[in-house]
Amino acid sequence: MSEHPPDRHASDGVDLPPLRSEFADDPEMAELVEFFLHELEERLAALRDAYEGGHADELRSVVHQLKGAAGGYGFPSISEAARKFEHSILIEEAELSTLREEFENLITTCRRATH
């Protein structure tokens, strides 16, 4: 079963369904998807630290890595949210505080990832 892109944001007050990897039913990928999910918390912590610290270069690097990894492990919704946020960082580098909604959307999308 593959993931379904969200229709609404968590800020709408609606519980969004979990995201499953496109590889969830592939026994050969199960261990790799599990590895991605396990390290996702570390990636989110690094993302939050860089954002809260106002470190645009580090933030861009973490988001870029997340974008690639999520796509590679079968989570295109996470990859797409990261791509949008990465693009916004490039445009608004000096004003990271204006990107709070996109930042929170990326975090919420990542937190929906499951086995």
Note whether 3 and 24 are within 8 A (CB).
no
pLDDT of residue 3: 42
Q: Which domains does the chain have, with CATH numbers?
A: 16-114 (1.20.120)
pLDDT of residue 94: 58
* Burial 46-83, CB ≥16 within 10 A → b, else e: bbeebbeeeebeebbebbeebbebbbebbbbbbbbbbb
Q: What is the mean pLDDT of each run of 10 residues along the chain (115 residues)?
A: 41 73 94 95 96 92 97 96 93 79 94 88
Contacts of 62 (CB under 8 A, 6+ apart): 43, 46, 47, 50
